[in-house]
Amino acid sequence: MGDGCPVVSVVIPTHNCIQYLPYALEGVNRQSFGDFEILVIDDGSTDGTGDYIKTQETKSGTRSLRYFRNEIRRERSYTRNKGVEQARGSWIAFLDADDLWLAEHLQRLLARIAVDGRVALVFSLPALVDRDGRRMEGTTKRELPAAERRTPMRALLVGHAPMPSGMLVSRDAYLAVGGFREGCNLREDWDLGVRMGWGWGAAYVPELTFLYRAHTDTPTLTPEWLASTLLVGFDLVSRAADRRSRALIIRGMARECIAGWRLGEEWARKGRSLLARSLALYPGQLREREVLFLVTQASVPLRALGVAGQLSRLRRRARVPRPR
């Protein structure tokens, strides 16, 4: 950029992640695209993160590196926002301290922006690795369903949220929508993605560009996760400008609740209720195979979820034929 500022500011929030942070920084410094700065935002770590960063600031091969610290823990939404406030780049790339970028991550996301300069959010999806950075057995790269690859906004609405480590966002647009909602630290990526998509559109990069470190002793699907899904989802519904968008958001909420059936029948029951509400709002939005996916994705018999009798009614409401 002519003003001496980098094109991209890489914002890395971290809290007691010293065992992973060096690998995250190594991946950033290996990027094939080089016009960036790095901002490490320490969210009250007590593991020596600050001392480590001091050793890296003058290390040969390390890009422009700046360090900021919260004296008390403020959680990740506040911490990411703090990083963006200090950023000098026109584009912001987030990286959680325990995730890993592949060498062409920034280059591929920026190339997608060049194709469609109107969008303010571009994202990719990862492959999963374990605590030691090894690809997890039986896992492949996460991908959007085929129809949603062509319409990323639909993907966002139904809850296929971009992980922060796979996001590249316009700094101006990010600030215009208020950034991550502080106090919202579960499903905050869904919330931000939809709000930015509504304003400027979104683009999807189908290539694998980063690795998400899955901590298998911390399950993703928890009552707290589902409660946050409902909290964020209903707030987005209240902001949606049309029935189709509201229906798609509710569909995403339904899918998560049905998938949480192992946590208690009340979640499956809530999911079925939300699915019916979604269909009532916009009857033509679901194909039969999508209905079947929603009610069977927990990999149990329909009768175990209590939807066997309801399925025929869902078919009629969705106006789809019975399979031959």
Q: pLDDT tens digits for 164-203?
A: 999 999 999 999 999 999 989 999 999 999 999 999 999 9
Last residue of a domain, one of 213, 238, 264: 213
pLDDT of 262: 83
CATH of the domain at 122: 3.90.550.10
Domain contains 70 = yes
Domain contains 296 = yes
Chunk the chain into consecutive blocks of 10 residues (it has 324) and report each block's average pLDDT, rounded to whole numbers.
83 97 96 96 96 82 85 96 98 97 97 92 91 72 71 92 95 97 93 96 93 75 92 97 94 89 87 85 63 50 43 52 43
Domain contains 285 = yes
Domain contains 218 = no
* Same-domain status, 176 and 29: yes
* Same-domain status, 272 and 132: no
* Same-domain status, 307 and 159: no
* Same-domain status, 233 and 203: no
Domain contains 3 = no
Between CA 226 and CA 254 the distance in angstroms is 10
* Same-domain status, 232 and 140: no
Domain contains 90 = yes
pLDDT of 140: 56
Q: How far apart are the first and last CA of the chain?
A: 60
* Same-domain status, 232 and 204: no
Query: What is the span of the domain harbouring residue 81?
Result: 8-213
Last residue of a domain, one of 213, 236, 252: 213
pLDDT of 131: 86
* Same-domain status, 229 and 81: no
pLDDT of 31: 97
Domain contains 269 = yes
Residue 214: phi and psi, rounded to 5, are -90, 120
Domain contains 323 = no
* Same-domain status, 45 and 179: yes
pLDDT of 151: 87
* Same-domain status, 73 and 207: yes
Last residue of a domain, one of 181, 213, 245: 213
Between CA 286 and CA 291 the distance in angstroms is 6
Query: Can you tell me whether residue 155 is helix, strand or coil?
Result: helix
pLDDT of 216: 64
Close Cβ partners of 126 (under 8 Å, ≥ 6 residues apart): 99, 141, 142, 163, 165, 166, 208, 209, 210, 211, 212
Paired tokens of 168 = 């590249």
- Which pTM does this prediction carry? 0.86
* Same-domain status, 238 and 101: no
* Same-domain status, 103 and 246: no
* Same-domain status, 68 and 193: yes
Close Cβ partners of 282 (under 8 Å, ≥ 6 residues apart): 243, 244, 246, 247, 248
Structural domain total, the chain: 2
